Structure 1
Amino acid sequence: MSSESEKDKERLIQAAKLFFFHIRDLVSFINRFVELFNLTMKTQILPMNLNEESCIKDFFEQMIRNFKEMQLMVDGKHKQMQKEPLCSKVLTAVTPAVEKCATIAPHHTAEDMLKNIQTSGAALVLKTSHVLENLETSLSLLMQFPIMGLRLSDLYREETKEQSDVTSDATTSEKSTSPEHPKATTEETLRKLQDVLSPENAHTPVDTAADELEQFVKSMEITLQVLQKSIKTMEGDISVLTQVQGK
């Protein structure tokens, strides 16, 4: 076996392992995004469960369904905002304007109005930023990769669960890919990856499969970055509104 072939095998195994942890991060980030969305939009979208024995396609389909559902809610709230000019104006005002709004409409308390403004503000930001549409499009493009037919456990299998708890910490991948974690069954993983990622007439099937999977991982990293930025923005908005409500 040539050293070049061994190098390609190692590339493919490392790409598969990185993909495995990217999926865990993706589910974790999406669940944090859903948590913040529920908080700001007053909804009850359920978080995702990570089942490593399920088909990878199932994860992506569920994520896309979640974003479609969120988009419908945002569109509905945005349309409602168009019919409420008073609250639309208050969106750009500070706390005293909320008190005035409550005075004009005495059957609403200032707290009620502030909650309504919080929800409307979140809907406006999500609508104008197109973040939900971008995430849905990104996941839909990833769905076109042939690797979708595999299970997550086909790529990497942990023998220890010391760090199996998925968190929203951005360092999850760095921690999980430490040397302490055992490797998957190498030959079995290589065979499955070559079967789905390399065409039958490929001159260097391992090299071709490694290139394909590395490209997929890079595309996933872009989606993770968009999610992280969106989460930070939503966390910042919630922090500001919380401070306002506490005054």
Structure 2
Amino acid sequence: MSSKPEDDKERLFQAAKTIFFHIQDLSSFTNTLIELLNHNMNTQIILTTVKEDSNIRDFFEQMLKIVAEIQSVVDAANKNVQNEPLYSKITMTLSSMFEQSTNVKELYLSAKKVFKNAHIPLIISVLSHGNVLGILASCITALMKFPIMNLQLSDLYRKDTREQSEATTSEKIMSSDPPEANMTDKLKKLQEAFKGENATNPTAFAAEQLEQIIRNLGPALEVLKKATKIMETNISLFKKVPEK
């Protein structure tokens, strides 16, 4: 049973909007990670930027460069500290995500005996143990094969200036649909991105392709989100541990 044209359009617009906010979230979580590295490992990695008039391919190419730079930093730090006697024990404990049985104070003080900055093994362990950077790089590389890379972010969705900045991603996805005057133009651009596929229903096919992007990007985004949250939470715990 074929779908209704209006249903296909709604699927397409909602998928495009979801990708738009996924990209914004990807930039935000990556910037959180960069700030953690710059503050705790004395790096000078430049933050990502997301502009609605930017080409989607340009954003993902920027992301790949940043991921490669972070990987280089992590590899260098890992090489410098992995020969320390306590490193293996520390990283094993950290990679277990600080189970309830972990004595955070003991771990922190042990780490301080070996590392000038006890946050370094935490960052290395979280990124390496979960293969966070590898997952992110593989995901972005796969996504860059999709035809929408030549579109601008605003072709996916343009935020309504009336939206409240504190609204959650899910709230944004469900609100502020594109003005009627812009819907035809957006529909045409999204359909044309996949016009070489000879689909019998261009709108439904484009929606399916965008939904596949969401399925690919979503898990990688969750991995990055979880990693940054673990680092933020436990670095905060370290700061609360008394030195004596």
- The TM-score with structure 2 as length reference comes to 0.81
Aligned to 2:155: 154
In the alignment, structure 1 residue 176 sits paired with structure 2 residue 177: no
Can you give the 5+ residue segments of structure 1 that lack an aligned partner in the other structure?
102-112
Residue 138 of structure 2 is matched in structure 1 by 137
> In 1, distance between residues paired with 2:153 and 2:227?
26
RMSD: 2.7
Give the secondary structure class of the aligned counterpart of 2:117: helix
Q: Cα deviation per residue 1:54-113 (whole Å; 9 max; x = unaligned)?
A: 100111111111111011011111111134x256378476355467x4xxxxxxxxxxx6
Instruction: Kindly indicate whether the alpha-carbon contact (under 8 Å) linking 2:17 and 2:156 is maintained by their aligned counterparts in 1.
Output: yes
The letter for the 1-side match of 2:154 is S
Question: 2:78 is matched with which residue?
Answer: 78
For 1:73 and 1:240, how far apart are their aligned partners in 2?
Answer: 24
- Would you say the 8 A contact 2:21–2:169 is kept in 1? yes
SS in 1 for 2:238: helix
Q: Which amino acid letter does the alignment assign opposite residue 223 of structure 2?
A: V
Native 8 Å contact 2:126 2:227 kept in 1: no
Between stretches 56-65 and 114-123, larger displacement belongs to: 114-123
How many residues matched?
228
2:163–2:176 CA contact under 8 A, matched in 1: no
Correspondence 1:66-215 to 2 at 5 A: 66-83=66-83, 85-86=84-85, 88=87, 91=90, 94-97=107-110, 101=113, 115-160=116-161, 162-163=163-164, 172-180=168-176, 182-183=178-179, 185-199=182-196, 201-215=198-212
CA distance in 2, matches of 1:142, 1:12: 17
CA contact (8 A) 2:126 2:231 kept: no
Q: Is the 8 A contact 2:191 2:202 kept in 1?
A: yes
Q: Distance in 2 between matches of 1:202 and 1:147?
A: 16
3-state secondary structure, aligned to 1:53: coil
Whether contact under 8 Å (2:160, 2:176) holds in the other structure is: no
TM-score, normalised via structure 1 length: 0.80
Q: Is the 8 A contact 1:199 1:205 kept in 2?
A: no
- Deviations 1:180-200 (Å, cap 9, x if unpaired)? 455371111111111112435
Q: Which has more radius of gyration?
A: 1
